[in-house]
Chain A
Amino acid sequence: MTTDQQVAPDPRHEARRPRPADDLTVIVPAYDEAASIADTVRSILGQTTPPARVVVVDDGSTDDTGDLARAAGAEVIRNHVGTGSKAGAQNVALADVTTTYAMAIDADTTLAPDALELLMAPLEADESVVAACGFVVPRHVSSVWERGRYVEYLLSFTFYKPTQDYFGTPLISSGCFSAYRTEALQAAGGWSERTRAEDMDLTWTFYQAGHRVRFVPEAVCYPIEPHDLDFMATQLKRWSHGFVQNVALHWRGVLRLPFLRTVVGVAMFDAVVASLVYLLVLPLLAVLVSPWVLLAYVVDVPAVLVPVLVAARRRREVGRALLSVPCFLVLRVVNGLYMLEALVTEVVLRRPLLVYEKGH
């Protein structure tokens, strides 16, 4: 009888295969993030494939953000004056990046232990891919607004974004957790400050330059979402204005890209109609025709529940998802209000939102 004997490689002589994370700089823009920055840095350094560098840009903080980030193991660039925007802070660090890949992570966002390794895979596998984004789940899910956002993310990242990715065009590479090919990022001029949604601006700029963007649902990040109406209002205002500004800025370029133009066109039309329907048409019809019309606010709940429960079951959070659905209905009506405000202010009154207001 013969046996095949395999000799185990001597770990002392085995060269470690280079990984994309070895050539990656993670940029974390931070302004007064003392409460969360240490968790963020530790979650990055604790990855299955830690990056070569973690650079925190302390953008004029008035608290201990910089000291806490340094103590947690990050390099810290202290910008005493402050750029006043997330894009500006990220660009400060980008100028100093020499690695092949760069990543942006919000200072209030932690990562699943393998998120970074998974997110880098499509960038390593395909030269035409210049950006990759992951699945976003709110870290805390207790207030009405966090619960609403939780359902919104489960719906969007389970049904809409994978479909967009299948057709090669995720609408946006989310700013809270995205990886980039540094050369393409620098060629695009970094993160632009010309709109209030720099991540959407960058994604659409990439598409117009002929690059590809991927969505990696297995790479999960956990940002802190707005917990009260004040913070949520600030974020919704920024996102709504940012979307309108990006459509105004990129419409000619977007119209040349068949799938993107359809996605943006449908999103714009639906956002406008939804805002008018939820805030004006349904209340009017309820008064003039029948109160049963108010059922329209909830009639699509079973349809929303299907993708939400698919995602929740994978995450073993079915109870949490079911409890959170009513909050989603509240959030989308409030969202309609800010969408209308953005349209009127940006398009009718020609008063663009110029100030970057932090709302998590």
Chain B
Amino acid sequence: MTAGLPGTGLGGLFYLVLALWMPVHELVRTLRGRGSRERWRLALTQLDIALGIIASVVLVVVVLTHLVPGARGGGVLALLAPAVALGVLAALTGVVALWGAVVNRRSAPSAA
């Protein structure tokens, strides 16, 4: 995912979700008076790329189900795989967030 580090696509999925979230995030910022043209341009560019990636993944699934023997009934699997990956990603970020909260709590100065 990052240059010099191998990746399966889970990292790619993480950035895909972030790219889809960016316009929403920027809209909230704009409504709060903190939007900027530069940030909107970046958010929309990344959204474009993310939508292109999703389209390419759908195309691959369609091609594979017609190409690979025994994969015609794989529609459920095609839907299940991204859902499982999203679940793993959500669990991973949840664990990391929880761990961070524990570390923060332990390092916070205790009230006398």
Say yes or no for A205: interface residue by CB 8 A criterion.
no
Q: Would you call B18 and A266 a contact (CB within 8 A)?
A: no
Chain A residues with CB under 8 Å of B95's CB are 265
Q: Would you call B53 and A303 a contact (CB within 8 A)?
A: yes
Q: Would you call B4 and A239 a contact (CB within 8 A)?
A: yes
Chain B residues with CB under 8 Å of A267's CB are 1-2, 5, 7, 11
Report the bound CA distance from A299 to B8 in whole Å: 11
Q: Would you call B100 and A302 a contact (CB within 8 A)?
A: no
Chain B residues with CB under 8 Å of A256's CB are 100, 103-104, 107
Chain A residues with CB under 8 Å of B57's CB are 302-303
Please judge, given known A-B contacts A261-B96, A266-B89, whether A163 and B4 are in contact too, CB under 8 Å.
Answer: no
B17-42 contacts to A (CB < 8 Å)? 18-19, 22, 39, 42
Report the bound CA distance from A263 to B7 in whole Å: 13
The size of the chain A interface, using a CB distance under 8 A, is: 55
Cβ-closest chain B residue relative to A160:
B15
Nearest-Cβ distance from residue A325 to partner chain B, whole angstroms: 13
Chain B residues with CB under 8 Å of A310's CB are 48-49, 52
As a 0/1 sequence over residues 66 to 105 of chain B, the CB contacts with chain A under 8 angstroms (1 = contact) are 0011000000000000000000010011011101100110
Please judge, given known A-B contacts A156-B2, A273-B8, whether A252 and B103 are in contact too, CB under 8 Å.
Answer: yes
Chain A residues with CB under 8 Å of B8's CB are 270, 273-274, 277-278
Q: Would you call A302 and B59 a contact (CB within 8 A)?
A: yes
DSSP class of A's interface residues: helix, strand, loop or mixed? Answer: helix
Please judge, given known A-B contacts A265-B93, A266-B93, whether A295 and B4 are in contact too, CB under 8 Å.
Answer: no
A180-214 contacts to B (CB < 8 Å)? none
Q: Would you call A307 and B53 a contact (CB within 8 A)?
A: yes
Nearest-Cβ distance from residue A175 to partner chain B, whole angstroms: 11
Chain B residues with CB under 8 Å of A255's CB are 96, 99-100, 103-104
A256-276 contacts to B (CB < 8 Å)? 256, 258, 261-263, 265-267, 269-271, 273-275
Partner of B68, one of A157, A240, A292, A335: A292
Q: Would you call B1 and A269 a contact (CB within 8 A)?
A: no
Q: Would you call A166 and B39 a contact (CB within 8 A)?
A: yes
The size of the chain B interface, using a CB distance under 8 A, is: 44
Chain A residues with CB under 8 Å of B93's CB are 262, 265-266
Report the bound CA distance from A293 to B88 in whole Å: 21
Q: Would you call A306 and B56 a contact (CB within 8 A)?
A: yes
In this complex, the member of B3, B68, B96, B104 whose beta carbon has the largest number of chain A beta carbons within 10 angstroms is B3
Q: Would you call B4 and A236 a contact (CB within 8 A)?
A: yes
Cβ-closest chain A residue relative to B100:
A255
Please judge, given known A-B contacts A159-B49, A306-B49, whether A243 and B4 are in contact too, CB under 8 Å.
Answer: yes
Cβ-closest chain B residue relative to A334:
B6
Please judge, given known A-B contacts A262-B97, A335-B6, whether A160 and B52 are in contact too, CB under 8 Å.
Answer: no
Say yes or no for B60: interface residue by CB 8 A criterion.
yes
Report the bound CA distance from A305 to B52 in whole Å: 10
- Which residues of A are at the interface with B, using a C-beta cutoff of 8 A? 136, 149, 152-153, 156-160, 162-163, 165-167, 171-172, 235-236, 239-240, 243, 252, 255-256, 258, 261-263, 265-267, 269-271, 273-275, 277-278, 292, 295, 299-300, 302-307, 310, 332-333, 335-336, 339
- Listed from nearest, the 10 A-B pairs whose CB atoms lie closest are A302-B56, A265-B96, A239-B4, A306-B52, A274-B6, A270-B11, A255-B100, A336-B6, A274-B8, A156-B3
- Which residues of B are at the interface with A, using a C-beta cutoff of 8 A? 1-12, 14-15, 18-19, 22, 39, 42-43, 45-46, 48-49, 52-53, 56-57, 59-60, 64, 68-69, 89, 92-93, 95-97, 99-100, 103-104, 107
